[in-house]
Structure 1
Amino acid sequence: MTTIPEYDIARSATCPMDPAPAMRARQEEGPLTRVRLWDGSTPWLVTGHAEHRALLGDPRVSVEPARGIPRLSPAEAASMESMAAQEGGSGGIGFIMMDDPEHARLRRMVTSAFTVKRVEAMRPATQQIADDLIDRLLAGPKPADLVEGFALPLPSLVISNLLGVPYDDHDFFQANSRTIINRNSTPEQRGGAQRRLAEYLDGLIGEKLAKPADDLLSGLVERVKAGELTRPEAAQMGVLMLFAGHETTANMITLGTLALLQNPDQAALVRESDDPKLVASAVEELLRYLTITHGGLRRVALADIEIAGQVIKAGEGIIAVNETANRDPSVFPDPDRLDLQRNARLHVTFGYGIHQCLGQPLARMELQVAYTALLRRIPTLALAAELDEIPFKHDGFIFGAYELPVTW
C-alpha cells in the first residue's frame, strides 16, 4: 500500500524564492497526486500547469467552504466555521469564497474600478507616491528597511486613495491584515481581526452614506441605497479590497526587489531600458518566479471529474499549487531561472477562471512603477544583509519578508 505524504508548504531556508521542496517532490511524481492533511483527509494535490488551469476553470469545482474545501489546519477550520456563521456562510472573506451566480453578482459591482483604462489613469499619481517615498528614503539613515519605507506604504496609499480609506489608519488595517494571513493565528485572533476590519469599513460606509465622495466605497454606498447590496455585504467587499490591495503587492515589491538585487544582470535590463513592454514583461516573470500566494488554492469537486488519468470524485478536495504550476518545465523551460525576457504571461499567480484576481491590472501597474523607480532613482541599491538574515514570512499564506535591509 502506497503511503500518502503529508502536506508540507515549508520553503527551504537556503532557497526561499523556490517552491517548497515537498511540493517539488510531489510534482516529480505527476501532475495530480494525493496528500494527507492534519485531519486525515487526502485531497488531490495539483502541481501541473495544464491541470491547474483545467480544474480552476471547471464549473464542476467549488470554492465555497460549506461544500467541504480542504482546511490546512485546525485553527483555519475553526476560523472558517466561526466566520461563516457570522457572515451567512461566506467564510467571512466575501465573494472570493462564493460560487456563481452570487459571486458574479457581487464581483460585477466593483469590476469597472479595476479596468486597464481606469488603472492607467492612476499611473501618474502612483509614480508621484513612489517618488515621494524614495525622496524620504534617500534623505533618511542607511541602511533602511525597504518594507517600511517603500514596499508597504506604496500600495497602501494607492488602495486607500482608490477606496476612500484614510491612510492615517494604515497601522490599524495592516496589523489586522497580518493577523488574518498568519497561519499561526488562533481562531479567536483571526476572527477578531476580521470583525475589527468589518466594523471599521462599516463605519466608513456609514460616513459615506451621509456624505459620499468620488471613491470606490461611495460607489458601493450607491448600490446599498439602490437596494442592490446590503450594508454588511458592502463592508465585507471593502475589507476584501483593502486587504488584497496592499498585502500581496507589498510582498511582491519586497521579494521582487530582492530577486533583482540577487540577479544584477536582470536588474540592469529594467534600469537601463525605456521600453515599457520590457518592464511589463519583467513584472510577469517576477510574478511567475516568486508566486507569493503559496500554499495552494483550495477547491472541492461537485461532480466526478476525469483528468490526468485520474478521477476526482464528487466531494473530494483539491489543492491547486500555484508555485509548482509556475515552475512547470513543459510550459516554462528552465523554470528555476529568472529571465525577465521570457514570455511568462501564462503564469497562474493571479489564479485562473472566474476567481482570477480582480485587482491584477492595479498590481501590475504598481509593480511596474515600483521596480523602475527604485532601480533608476537608486542605481546603487544593494542588500544590507545576508540572505539567511532576512526574516521571511514562513508563517503566512502570502510569502514575503517582514524586513528588507537595503543601502546605496
Structure 2
Amino acid sequence: MSTAPRADTAATGTPAFPDPRSSACPFGVSPEMRTLTDRGPVSRVTSWGGSTPWVVTSHTEQKTLLADPRLSAVFSHPGFPSPVDPEKAGRATADMSFVGMDDPEHSRLRRMVSGVFTVKRIEAMRPVVQKLTDDFIDTMLDGPRPVDLVQALALPIPSLVISELLGVPYEDHHFFQTNSRTIVSATAGAEARHTAHSDLAEYLDDLVGRKTSAPGDDLLSALAARITAGEITRREAAAMGVLLLLGGHETTANMISLGTLLLLEHPAQLATVRDTDDPKVVAAAVEELLRYLSIVHLGRRRTALEDIEIAGRTIRAGDGVILLGELANRDPRVFPDPDTLDITRDARPHLAFGAGTHHCVGQPLARMELQVIYPTLFRRIPTLRAAIEVEQVPFKYDAVIYGIHELPVTW
C-alpha cells in the first residue's frame, strides 16, 4: 500500500489521491488535501492504478452517503478504490470480516459482537481501566526518565482491555501488536499485510478452537458457542477476532499518544482537562480530540451499486467513492473555526467513528478509555512534558492509522 502523492493527471485534470499528511502541520490536514474541499463536496481524483474515484469532502454529503445502502463496502467489486490488486480483493474482504461486507450478512455477523460493546457494559469496565491506568502510571513514576509514553502507557492499556474482552492471553501482545502494525502500514507490501492477517487469523482460529472445549467468560467463547450451534463458521469467528483485536488496540493507542502531545501543545486546554471534576467536560474534550485528529486515513471506501445523485453530481453504478472523514471533521459549516482546537465546542457530530450501518462497533470502549486516561495522566503527572521538540517526534506518516511511533516524555 502506498500513500505517496501523485502528480495531477493531465488528461483528467483531477488532483492526486492519496496525499500524505504534511510534516509542517502534523496535527492538521495537508494543504494538498485542502484543495479537494475547494473543488466542491463531491469531485473526482486520480488514484491507485490510474483510477478516478469520487472523493466526498463535506460533512453533510458524507453522512448521507454512509447511510445509503446503494454504496457497497465489499472490496472485490469492480471499481472499488483500493491499493490492493483487484484479484486479491476478495481475499482481503475475508480477512476483514464484516467491515468488508454489506447487509444482510454484515448485520448478521455484527450483531454477534455488538452486545459486548453497549454503553452499559463498557461503563461497568471503567473502574478496571482506571486501575490499569493508575498502575501503569505508578510504574512510569518509579522508572527512569525520559520514558516512551507509547510503550509505557498508550499501547499496553488498550491492548490489555481488548485482550480481556476477547479472551486473548495478554502475554501474546508482542505477537499481535507486531502483526497489527504490518496490517495498518502504508509501506508494507500486499503480501506482507496478507501474511500478517493470516498469522493473526491462524492464532485466533486456534484460540477459538480451544474455547469450544473450554469456554470462558469472553467474546471468543461466545463465538465458539455460535460455531457449535451452526450459526457461523470457525473461519468467520477467527476473522471477527482479528478485526476486533486490531481495532480494539491500534486506534486507541494512537489516539492516546497523539492526543497527549496535542494537549501538551495547548496548555490552557490541558489544564481544563486536568483540573475539572465534571465528566461532561472531559467527554467533550475527548470528542474534540477525535474530531481534530481524525486518525483514520485513506477514507472510508465504497462502490456505487446504483446511480446516485448528490450535490449536483451523478455517481454512476460501478464508480468508486472515497469518503474523507478528516475533511468532513474540518467542515466549517458544521464546526466553526474548524482548525482551532476547542474542547468546549460540541464536536459530537464528528465522523471519526463513521456513520450509518458501518459505524465503529467499538466506539463506546474507545471513548471510555480516553475519558479515563487523559485526565488521570495529567493529574498524576502535572509537570508532564515532551522530552523532544515536536519537530523531532516520529509521526506515523507511514501508516493508514495516524499516530506516533515513539513519544519520549519526562516531568
CA RMSD of aligned residues (A): 1.2
Deviation digits for residues 333-372 of structure 1 (CA, Å, limit 9, x no counterpart) = 0000110010000000000110000000000000001101
**Paired letter, 1:217:** L
1:286 to 286, 289, 293: 289
Structure 1 segment 128-277 matched on structure 2, within 5 A: 128-277=131-280
Question: Does the 8 Å CA contact 1:281/1:343 hold for their aligned counterparts?
Answer: yes
- Work out whether 1:40 is the aligned partner of 2:50: yes
Deviation digits for residues 174-229 of structure 1 (CA, Å, limit 9, x no counterpart) = 00000011111112211110110000001111111111001111111111111101
Q: Distance in 2 between matches of 1:71 and 1:62?
A: 11
- Work out whether 1:323 is the aligned partner of 2:326: yes
Q: Distance in 2 between matches of 1:322 and 1:68?
A: 23
Secondary structure of the structure 2 residue equivalent to 1:39: helix
Moved over 6 A (4+): none
- Work out whether 1:61 is the aligned partner of 2:61: no
Which residue number in structure 2 is paired with residue 110 of structure 1?
Answer: 113
Which residue number in structure 1 is paired with residue 407 of structure 2?
Answer: 404
Q: TM-score, normalised by structure 2?
A: 0.96
Which residue number in structure 1 is paired with residue 27 of structure 2?
Answer: 17
Q: Distance in 1 between matches of 2:85 and 2:363?
A: 28
Secondary structure of the structure 1 residue equivalent to 2:301: strand
Question: Does the 8 Å CA contact 1:305/1:311 hold for their aligned counterparts?
Answer: yes
Any stretches of 5+ residues in structure 2 without a counterpart?
1-10
- Work out whether 1:98 is the aligned partner of 2:101: yes
Which residue number in structure 1 is paired with residue 15 of structure 2?
Answer: 5
Q: Distance in 2 between matches of 1:71 and 1:26?
A: 17
Question: Does the 8 Å CA contact 1:83/1:191 hold for their aligned counterparts?
Answer: no
* Identity across the alignment (%): 58
Any stretches of 5+ residues in structure 1 without a counterpart?
none
Structure 1 segment 374-389 matched on structure 2, within 5 A: 374-389=377-392
Deviation at 1:247, TM superposition (A): 0.1
1:339 to 342, 345, 359: 342
Q: Distance in 1 between matches of 2:229 and 2:119?
A: 27
Q: Distance in 2 between matches of 1:350 and 1:262?
A: 25
Q: Distance in 2 between matches of 1:142 and 1:69?
A: 51
**Paired letter, 1:182:** S
Question: Does the 8 Å CA contact 2:81/2:320 hold for their aligned counterparts?
Answer: no
Q: Distance in 2 between matches of 1:206 and 1:111?
A: 22
Question: Does the 8 Å CA contact 2:18/2:47 hold for their aligned counterparts?
Answer: no
Which residue number in structure 2 is paired with residue 393 of structure 1?
Answer: 396
Question: Does the 8 Å CA contact 2:162/2:245 hold for their aligned counterparts?
Answer: yes
Secondary structure of the structure 2 residue equivalent to 1:319: strand
**Paired letter, 1:377:** R
Deviation digits for residues 225-280 of structure 1 (CA, Å, limit 9, x no counterpart) = 11101111111111110000000000000111011000001001111100000111
Question: Does the 8 Å CA contact 1:70/1:319 hold for their aligned counterparts?
Answer: no
